[in-house]
């Protein structure tokens, strides 16, 4: 399957990747807060295709939508129907306050998260006045994109983008509360805040099953 995909990509059948093998969506995003953010900016991707994908086939960039400005996602096998997190960072120098390792550990701690997690290895951070997440192939073709509206940005809830962008709500679509961390910009009593989000989980099983079925049917028709 992987080899066939590579040959098809070289031959220029980009639509196969976009519509079939790599049916990946951006299903959640965190763009940061005023003051201490808890973690770096991040997004969640979900594989709605029928086969596992290697995430290193994608480059991330923000609204500049450019492989040259972006970063190649770390390599993970993402099974059909599974979600994972990518932390947006190009910041891994020996003297940086945050390294790739510490950014991942910070996320795992704050979200009590033990699922798959990777780094974008570049690409712009997500602005709180509105931005956009792009997943691109190496030839700069767009696989999928997701706007992060300023109206939903900067709050204590992540942006759930599985259907249309909304603020994550505790208990809805698997959203839960992060551990509390220090932030003295938001004026919360005690300066300890927690976030609401659903890293690693998306609405299941109904919507995913239906979308996956549609992808499978499409793939069969093309044979
Ligand atoms: Ca940000
Ligand atoms: Ca901040
Ligand atoms: Ca940006
Ligand atoms: Ca989620």
User: What is the mean pLDDT for each group of 10 consecutive residues in the chain (223 residues)?
Assistant: 41 40 90 95 96 96 97 96 95 79 96 97 95 97 96 93 94 95 95 97 63 52 48
Partners of residue 174 on adjacent β-strands: none
Token pair in block for residue 138: 């190496």
DSSP string, 115-179: S-EEE-SS-PPPPTT-EEEEEE-TTS-EEEEEEE-GGGTTSSB-EE-SSS-EE--TTSTT-EEPP
Domain residue ranges in the chain: 25-201
Token pair in block for residue 39: 């973690």
139 CA to centre of ligand 4 in angstroms:
28
Say whether 93 sits in a helix, a strand or coil: coil
Would you state the pLDDT for residue 1?
A: 40
Would you state the pLDDT for residue 38?
A: 96
Would you state the pLDDT for residue 210?
A: 53
Q: Which ligand is nearest to the CA of 193?
A: 2
Would you state the pLDDT for residue 17?
A: 44
Q: Which ligand is nearest to the CA of 88?
A: 1
32 CA to centre of ligand 1 in angstroms:
4
Would you state the pLDDT for residue 215?
A: 52
Residue 56: DSSP 8-state = G
Would you state the pLDDT for residue 96?
A: 72
21 CA to centre of ligand 3 in angstroms:
28
User: Which residues lie at CB < 5 A from ion ligand 1?
Assistant: 31-32, 41, 125-126
């Amino acid at each position: 399957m992987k080899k066939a995909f590579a040959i098809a990509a070289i031959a220029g059948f980009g639509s196969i990747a976009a519509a079939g093998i790599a049916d990946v969506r951006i299903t959640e995003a965190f763009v940061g807060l005023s003051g201490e953010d808890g973690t770096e900016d991040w997004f969640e991707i979900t594989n709605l295709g029928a086969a596992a994908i290697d995430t290193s086939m994608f480059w991330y960039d923000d609204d500049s939508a450019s492989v040259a400005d972006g970063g190649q996602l770390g390599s993970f096998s993402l099974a059909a129907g599974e979600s994972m997190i990518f932390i947006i960072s190009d910041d891994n120098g020996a003297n940086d306050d945050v390294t790739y390792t510490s950014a991942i550990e910070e996320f795992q701690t704050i979200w009590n998260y033990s699922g798959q997690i990777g780094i974008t290895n570049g690409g712009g951070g997500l602005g709180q006045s509105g931005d956009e997440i792009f997943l691109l192939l190496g030839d700069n073709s767009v696989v999928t994109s997701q706007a992060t509206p300023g109206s939903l940005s900067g709050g204590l809830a992540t942006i759930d983008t599985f259907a249309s962008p909304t603020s994550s709500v505790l208990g809805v679509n698997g959203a839960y509360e992060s551990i509390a961390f220090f932030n003295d910009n938001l004026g919360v009593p005690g300066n300890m805040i927690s976030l609401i989000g659903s890293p690693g989980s998306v609405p299941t099983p109904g919507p995913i099953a239906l979308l996956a079925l549609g992808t499978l049917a499409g793939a069969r028709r093309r044979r």
